[in-house]
Amino acid sequence: MRTSPKISIITVVFNGEKYIGRTIESVVGQTYKELEYIIIDGKSTDRTLELIGGFEGIHQVVSEPDKGLYDAMNKGLKAASGDYVWFLNSGDQIYNSTTIETLVAGLNGMPDIIYGGTMIIDEAQNEVGDRRLKPPVQLSWKSFRQGMVVCHQSIIVRREGAPAYNLEYRLSADIDWAIRAAKDASQIHNSNLVLSRFLEGGLTEHNIKAGLKERFKIMRHFYGLIPTILRHFVFGVRLTNFYLRHRRI
């Protein structure tokens, strides 16, 4: 067993020239070096590939058409060879340059899942604040009954236990993936660290209604119809109150 686990970081991007550089810098600038960095590009037509080519420390770049975000993520899973996989999409960042080194130093063995907090940032990279949902002290698959309590960019999963993304879901396959990974996990480790900076916005925020429909279907599958209806009523009230106070989701 590795004493210093190899972590495969996977970035999915399409026409991401505006943000891809900051994401790459946050990965290749890590003080921890047992990393594999894979970029899955959806055949960008802007300067994305040119910018990617200007960096050292990227181990593999795949550029070809895909069937959407989660299809590209599945390609990343197949390409990864590390002990762990960590998805960090274009525009998102690892929190700071020592994050992974500090995280690994705090491990006891090789847990199936490692998780932590997330800082929301805006386009100017200003810190907006914490997410509305906070990571629980102890995460389990049942924790996700409350929603995406851990941001997808702050979940690191043992590669051998990481399921493929379900392409039935176009907008919310990440929560389905997280639930399935957590359900199969024997040991889940809370890093008690902020692991990522998450760019405000994103696919589901721009497709809120469709994303919520998918999320409801996923929740119903795992937790049952009546409990899901009741929780979504409470979720709607809390989301509205949060938006009124902070003007963000």
Measured from the Cβ of residue 175, the count of other Cβ atoms closer than 10 Å reads 23
Q: Which residues sit opposite 121 in a β-bridge?
A: 127, 199
Q: For residues 95 and 154, what is the distance between their CA atoms, to the nearest angstrom?
A: 10
Q: What is the pTM of this model?
A: 0.88
pLDDT in tens, 183-195: 999 999 999 999 9
Domain limits of the chain?
Answer: 7-202
141's tokens: 């698959």
Per CATH, the number for 7-202 is: 3.90.550.10
pLDDT in tens, 198-220: 987 654 455 677 888 899 999 99
- Read off the pLDDT of residues 121-170 as tens digits, 9 standing for 90 and up: 988 888 988 777 789 999 999 999 988 999 999 999 999 999 999 999 99
